[in-house]
Structure 1
Amino acid sequence: MKILIIHTAFIGDIVLSTPLIKRIKEVYPESKITYVTTPVGASILRNNEDITEIIEYDKRGTHSGFKGLIALGRRLRYENFNLVLTPHRYLRSSILSWLTRSPKRIGYDTASGAILFTDKVKYDKEKHEVEKLLSFMGEIPKNSREDYPIELYPSKKDTEIINRIWEENGLENEDVIAIAPGSKWFTKKWPLEYFNKVIDLLIENNKKVIVIGGKDEMFLNVHTSKGVIDLRGKTTLLELAEVLRRVRVVLTNDSSPIHIASAFKNTRIIALFGPTVKEFGFFPWSENSEVLEIEGLPCRPCGIHGGNKCPKGHFKCMLEIKPEKVFDKILQALKR
């Protein structure tokens, strides 16, 4: 059985698909799984032994434009896949699925180009994203949160790199808090001055703090002058996963660190939700988590991805989550 997954969305979406990989292997133990994703998505999936091959779909490079899409589709067609699963709901992914000419192509009923699938699954907005993905293999299993965890696999080299960081900064046997202030969307970002207030309070209380993020977050004026360890732009995604495996608490916006940290049972996740809501299905899969939000605001949610500015101009959904409350939540988590 040769099975293809096509998923070229954001990092968090790719991370959330790992339980589906486990489920496929349960249903088809002898199957060979190929995964088509972005170069960034490929980097977070590495070392997963259930995946036979990862193919990078470089939309802005090798496979840019319609010609690039056709070229990749031609390559996939030669593989003669028995089954193609396409969780990504964008038209290019639907076309790519059709180009494989697989006899069975499954996608969401709400996807752009859904007519190109041979079979469709219901996109149930009331389900968590992981449960939606598990529905590609039929009925959603009971106890799916417990039985189908997010799985990431930092390599030995990744572990050694983070070992050095821990040793150099004296983090062994310390309660470390990771702070993730970034997001692709402006309104998903808790105010930077609030993050800085929490960092200052933690340092004043002799806590160890690591700031995480990609290169885009390096331009944020985060307080890092008082012993804060700044790893922004300095780790690969799997090295970041190893960092989040070791910390006691991660404070994060509604962004990919939520889902990466959900792979590790001992990491407490405190997630800040402003314009988005848990009902969209992208809340932490880990049960060791808490979502902080301002309930009862009539303007929430204002969009599935947030936006570049608050439509109402007051940004209450984030401004009313006060840093002192968040600091107290972190201290409570450390006492558990």
Structure 2
Amino acid sequence: MDRILVIRLSSIGDIILASPLVAALRARYPGARIDFAVKARFADLLRFDPHIDDILAFDGGSGMPGLLGLARRVRDAKYDLVVDIHRTYRSTVIKLLAGAGATRTFDKQYLKRALLVWGKWNLHGDRVTTMPERYVDCVRDLIGDMDMPPVTLHIDEQSRASALARLASKGPSENQPLVALAPGAAWHTKRWPPDRFGELGAMLAGQNKAAVAVVGGEGDRDVARHVYGRIGDAAIDLTGTTSLLETAVIIQRAGLLVSNDTGCMHMGRALRTPMVALFGCTVRELGYYPHGQQVAIIEKPVACRPCTHNGRRRCPKGHFKCMRDITVDEVFRAAQDLLRIS
């Protein structure tokens, strides 16, 4: 294999979780050209990965003309192997028009997933295969029985310097403990109530004399306002003001991250930041739970979980017990345990 293309167009977490696949392909084909097709707004997550030669970025809002333009670039590159780990109509168009000598496609396990969500029948067994493992399994016949590479996120020095300078301008000293909170999520049913995030932040600040950075994207600003308003002077609102990699720097600088199931959680996993991860409507069997010695997962065994494989705009039962039953006190205790270790 001389030319390889990996396709994962979105989103933050899925792209970060693809890093072991890229590393495995590089280990198996050290002299190959390995490119990655992705939406332009996520390209920085890949830009400094030493295993990637080129990023084929396109504007996700450009519609079919933009998609076909990307497909033409892919076809002209004459790839030997195209690995589609997104498996949407867009990624399928790119793969089919590539004219590659070989293709591999991610198994979305539609039947297992549907039975789990709609029938609560768990066919996954005792050992859950994580999403990074499933991505690597797409090419297992090509790479053989190699060890699973870790999930990684590579940050450039400019982003690091910019983020740390921005943080310093907000007040915390270099030696002051920093806690990061990620209260947003694309879907409502993945969000722990923001007033509880705020109460938690105030408790962590008071107990540890810590600064509390609230992080997230532009779409998380309304949620963040409910959070930092309750924390008071210790709060540093960075929501929607930092780039993806600058956000990653803040998370890496923190001694603790408390996050919903969102892109910031996967950043924390890749950067080995001690973390409390809060899960509501989704479950471990879907493959996205973070792993590590300094990771605490908090979830509630509500009978209606999972109600979706992704997320919902509202709780279909109306009670939202999967998140509302998670108390501030239990999250605080888990956070304090991790802070003592770190």
User: Normalising to structure 1: TM-score of the pair?
Assistant: 0.89
Q: 1:269-284 maps to which residues of 2 (within 5 A)?
A: 269-284=275-290
**8 Å CA contact 2:38, 2:55 repeated in 1:** yes
Q: What does 1:80-229 correspond to in 2, within 5 Å? A: 80-110=78-108, 126-138=128-140, 141=145, 144=148, 148-168=149-169, 169-205=171-207, 206-220=209-223, 221-224=226-229, 225-229=232-236
Output the CA distance in 2 between the equivalents of 1:111 and 1:324: 37
In 2, Cα distance between equivalents of 1:70 and 1:257: 31
- Structure 1 unaligned spans of 5+: 113-123
Identify the residue that residue 256 of structure 1 maps to in structure 2: 263
Distance 1:110 1:233 in 2: 32
Report if the CA contact (8 A) 1:90-1:111 is conserved. no
Q: How far apart, in 1, do the equivalents of 2:313 and 2:146 lie?
A: 39
Write the distance in 2 (CA, Å) between the matches of 1:15 and 1:109. Answer: 18
Does 1:301 pair with 2:306?
A: yes
RMSD over aligned Cα, in angstroms? 1.9
Answer yes or no: is the 8 Å Cα contact 1:7–1:86 preserved in 2. yes
Contact 1:166 1:172 in 2 (8 A): no
What is aligned with 2:60?
59
Q: Displacement, 1:214?
A: 0.8
* One-letter amino acid of the structure 1 residue matched with residue 334 of structure 2: K
Cα displacement string for residues 228-249 of structure 1 (whole angstroms, at most 9, x for unaligned residues): 1111111111111111111111
SS at match of 2:154: coil
Deviation digits for residues 219-271 of structure 1 (CA, Å, limit 9, x no counterpart)? 22222432211111111111111111111110000111111111223x11110
Q: Which 4+ residue blocks in structure 1 deviate beyond 6 angstroms?
A: none
Report if the CA contact (8 A) 2:56-2:70 is conserved. no
Contact 2:176 2:211 in 1 (8 A): yes
Q: Structure 2: how far apart are the matches of 1:14 and 1:182?
A: 18
Change (3 A) 1:20 1:323: same
Determine the C-alpha separation between the residues in 2 that align with 1:162 and 1:29.
33
Q: Determine the structure 2 residue equivalent to 1:324.
A: 329
From the superposition, tell whether residues 292 and 102 of structure 1 become closer, same or farther in structure 2 (CA, over 3 Å): same
Inter-CA distance 189–110: structure 2 relative to 1 (3 Å threshold):
closer
Q: Equivalent residue of 1:234, what SS?
A: coil
Which deviations, in whole Å up to 9, do the C-alpha atoms of 1:64-116 show, x marking residues without a partner? Answer: 12x3322321221111101000000212211210101001011034599xxxx
Question: Per-residue CA shift, 1:162-212, capped at 9, x if unaligned?
Answer: 232343323312321100000000010001111111012123222221100
* SS of residue paired to 1:78: helix
Is the Cα contact below 8 Å between 1:91 and 1:111 reproduced in 2? no
Within 1, Cα distance between the matches of 2:95 and 2:160? Answer: 36
Give 2:322's aligned amino acid.
C
Distance 1:232 1:69 in 2: 30
2:252 to 228, 245, 254: 245
Greater percentage in helix: 2
Q: What CA distance in whole angstroms lies between the structure 1 residues aligned with 2:338 and 2:190?
A: 23
Deviations 1:273-298 (A, max 9, x none): 01111111001144421110012x21
Alpha-carbon spacing, 1:328–1:56, altered in 2? closer, same or farther (3 Å)? same
State the AA in 2 paired with 1:273. Answer: F
The 3-state SS of whatever aligns with 2:69 is helix
Structure 1 CA distance for aligned equivalents of residues 159 and 52 of structure 2: 19
Q: Is 1:292 paired with 2:322?
A: no
Indicate the SS of the match to 2:216.
Answer: coil
Distance in 2 (CA, whole Å) between partners of 1:244 and 1:329 is 18
Q: Structure 1 residues 110, 208: CA separation in 2 closer, same or farther (over 3 Å shift)?
A: closer
Identity of paired residues, percent?
Answer: 31
TM-score normalized by the length of structure 2: 0.88
